[in-house]
Amino acid sequence: MSGEFAGKEKGSPGLVSILVAFGVTLPAPAMAQTIEDEFLQVAPLPAGIENVTPLPDAANVRFQDCEAFWPDGYRAWRAESVATEDHARKRDIYSWLRARLAFEAKDCGCAGKVAPWEDVDRVYEALKQAHGRVEIKHTAAFAAQADVLTGAVERMCGGSF
């Protein structure tokens, strides 16, 4: 199963559908930008996220133990130098995406905790097109939500993400 996203099926929604479902909007690149438009607009966290309770009979699997399910793009990203701005920004996006998908799916296993890397590349490229260069201010909302969502998934699954 190396290099494939086990939970992705033919006919599954694309990145745009996922982002729309989560309320994420990317600023249009051709439009004049205001200070508010500089930041990626991420939907509010789900209501009651701070009160998430453990799932009955949850079988938690740590993401690090799901290596067989990691997409090829994620493997390549891990092999790169971690001392670059681009690397850190993609980490913010992937952390958010995999935590959001696991939370929404209520899936504590590998299929729930591994997300398709192509979606990270698409979001990153859209941000790059919109801003010229992707900086921390463009992914700060992703990182902040990833922290909250990861905590909720850990409570829901009864163990480390």
| Inside any domain, residue 127 | yes
More confident site: 28 or 115? 115
Q: Which residues contact 91 (CB under 8 A, 6 or more apart)?
A: none
Residue 20 lies in a domain: yes
The DSSP letter of residue 10 is: T
Residue 150 within a domain: yes
Determine, yes or no, domain membership for 10. no
Helix or strand or coil: residue 93?
helix
Higher pLDDT: 71 or 26? It is 71
Give domain status of residue 36, yes or no.
yes
- Give me the helix-helix angle, 72-79 and 85-105, nearest 10°: 140
> In this structure, is residue 6 part of a structural domain?
no
Per-residue pLDDT tens digits for 100-149: 999 999 999 999 999 999 999 999 999 999 999 999 999 999 999 999 99
Distance CA 97, CA 114 (A): 9
At 80, phi and psi to the nearest 5?
-75, 165
Range(s) of the domain holding residue 141 = 15-43+59-157
User: Is residue 50 a part of any domain in this protein?
Assistant: no
Report the first-to-last Cα separation within the chain, whole angstroms. Answer: 20
pLDDT of residue 28 exceeding 60, the answer is no
The total domain count for the chain is: 1
What's the whole-number average pLDDT of the chain? 80
67 in a domain, yes or no? yes
Helix, strand or coil, per DSSP, at residue 25: strand
